[in-house]
Amino acid sequence: MASQASLEKMQLRQSYRNVWHTDLMSTIQADFPYCCLSLWCGPCVSYMLRKRALYNDMSRYVCCAGYLPCSGKCGESHCPELCLCTEVFLCFGNSVASTRFMLQDEFNIQTTQCDNCIIGFMFCLQQLACIFSIVACIVGSDELREASQILNCLSDFVYCTVCACMQTQHKVEMDKRDGKFGPPAVMAVPPVQQMSRIDQHVPPPVGYAPQSGYGQPYGYPPQAYGQPAYPPAGAYPPSGYPPAGYPPSGYPK
């Protein structure tokens, strides 16, 4: 049941249309000091970002943000700070990914193709390094063992670098959320002349009923003219009308 819900959530995440304020390639330019801090103190930064993502309300904390089967079963309600510390130090990668999923679900943020390539390259490199290590242990070749160690160091460097960039990306996004780049955009009420006429009140008709083809607006003549009805009673037809001898003889009636 939980795996099905997670699968549906992942499929829903593919339909998100918003994008990150900065992509992974631009995080160093966006906030270089914070990127360095995330590189050297990754677990501490992950703790701060998760707490900030929860709006500093630790009563809402759930282990791995509810995305793993262990979520809600680690005693988070009794001591959320301790549980979060344990998560960021023992499951650092999951803690970074969980904060990322939280922000994506909150703001409908998609992951760009470039970010997907970088994250996918990181995972593939880790798996390749693991395979090389296993093969080196089985074969017992010194050259293969050295190659696996170099590959492991490279995969660890890529992993730490990508995690630092991801955490910087999360921080910049929350800066945007909290209005640190300026007040959030507020939709202004359009002027009266730009508003739709459909919702505006139309006065009731006075005098003539609305006729099609005359080009007169509904409710003409207006009530301000003081004409209760047209023609006025007792004044029609005027005296002397029609003239004598009208209609002429022989005119069909």
Per residue in 193-238, pLDDT (tens digit) is 333 333 434 444 444 444 444 444 444 454 544 445 555 555 555 5
Q: Omega before 231 cis (within 30°)?
A: yes
Give strand pairing partners of 182.
180
CB atoms within 10 A of CB 100: 22
Residue 250: which pLDDT band, with cuts at 50, 70 and 90? low
Predicted confidence (pLDDT) at residue 81 exceeds the cutoff of 80: yes
What was the pLDDT predicted at 239? 65
Per DSSP, 233 falls in state T
Mean of pLDDT values over 125-141: 87
> What are the tokens at 2?
């939980």
Nearest to 170, CA basis, from 29, 64, 50: 50
Nearest to 38, CA basis, from 85, 88, 90, 75: 88
Give how far Cα 57 sits from Cα of 53, 131, 173, 178, Å: 9, 42, 18, 15
The label of the residue with tokens 């943020």 reads: 109
Q: Omega before 242 cis (within 30°)?
A: yes
**75/129 Cα distance (integer angstroms):** 35
Residue 249: which pLDDT band, with cuts at 50, 70 and 90? low
Q: For residues 213 and 62, which has the higher predicted lDDT (pLDDT)?
A: 62
Domain ranges of the chain: 32-177
Percent of the chain with pLDDT over 90: 38
Which of the given ranges, 33-37, 76-80, 177-181, 207-211, has the highest pLDDT on average? 33-37
Question: Is-contact 168 190, C-beta < 8 A?
Answer: no
- 3-state secondary structure labels for all residues of 12-34: HHCCCCECCCCCHHHHHHHCHHH
Question: Is-contact 40 32, C-beta < 8 A?
Answer: no
Dihedral angle, C-alpha 19, 108, 178, 190, nearest 10 °: 90
What was the pLDDT predicted at 202? 40
Segment (H or E) for 126: helix 113-139
Predicted confidence (pLDDT) at residue 124 exceeds the cutoff of 80: yes
Q: pLDDT for 163-205, tens place per residue?
A: 999 999 999 999 999 888 766 544 443 443 333 333 434 444 4
